[in-house]
Amino acid sequence: AQKITQTQPGMFVQEKEAVTLDCTYDTSDPSYGLFWYKQPSSGEMIFLIYQGSYDQQNATEGRYSLNFQKARKSANLVISASQLGDSAMYFCAMREGGGGTSYGKLTFGQGTILTVHP
Amino acid sequence: DTGVSQDPRHKITKRGQNVTFRCDPISEHNRLYWYRQTLGQGPEFLTYFQNEAQLEKSRLLSDRFSAERPKGSFSTLEIQRTEQGDSAMYLCASSGAAGEETQYFGPGTRLLVL
């Protein structure tokens, strides 16, 4: 079974509008972390936002917020006020196990290509 | 504060040749990871170092692959007798101690095996 599922191969959004990128995950570990990364065409993976499984509040970082629904095992990324520079591939990733004891390897989804139109 | 660096950025080689990639992590980070990413896919974990100790290896890391981190600073990934299926982006990431888990990635090394 896929541990991280991103069902949207591609998404389009108008500049200045908000967009939601979907991510569902599968784990039986009570302690885990969820990450979103952006990968522009240059190839570098850029960290955007992190949500821990025990965090009570949804994570926010500037224009990025993570809509964490633990019971549904979903961790959707919301980008507000889209900009042309947001056009890129976006990956959802999970780290299973507590940070103090696990080795921290990430499992990635297939990614969603976001295109922002002017 | 410099980020993770990787060298070379691009490598073209012929099948059967050996290649070596280098990763320099963020200076205070003791955890270092290697991932491989093929076209249209998400990165896949290859191996993990904590300081100089290689603590985990994926089954993706065949006998032709070897990774080292001799002094707990930079790391190298060597592929022997390259095959066309080794063509991919090789990404290195580093993170700090437990509790500071975010992995920061380098720009990657893009390998093409002809």
Question: How confident is the model over B41-76, as pLDDT tens digits?
Answer: 999 999 999 999 999 899 888 899 999 999 889 999
Over range A104-114, report the average pLDDT. Answer: 95
Residue A96's pLDDT band (cuts 50, 70, 90): confident
Contact residues on chain A for B41, CB-CB shorter than 8 A = 110-111
Q: What is the pLDDT of residue B60?
A: 84
CB contact under 8 A, B43 and A47: no
Q: Residue B30: which of B108, B97, B104, B111 has the closest Cα?
A: B97
A14-54 pLDDT, tens digit each: 999 999 999 999 999 998 999 999 999 988 999 999 999 99
Position A98 scores a pLDDT of: 60
Compare all CA atoms of chain B with the CA of A43 and give the residue at the minimum distance. B107
State the average pLDDT for chain B.
93
B28 or B9: which carries more pLDDT confidence?
Answer: B9
**pLDDT of A13 higher than 70:** yes
**What mean pLDDT is reported for chain A?**
93
Q: Is the pLDDT of residue A101 over 60?
A: no
What is the b/e burial string over A6-17, where b = at least 16 CB atoms within 10 angstroms of the residue's CB? bebeebebeeee
- For A45-54, A78-87, A104-113, B97-106, which range has the lowest pLDDT when averaged over its residues? B97-106
pLDDT at B72: 84
Q: Which of A104, A107, A108 is opposite residue B31, by nearest beta carbon?
A: A104
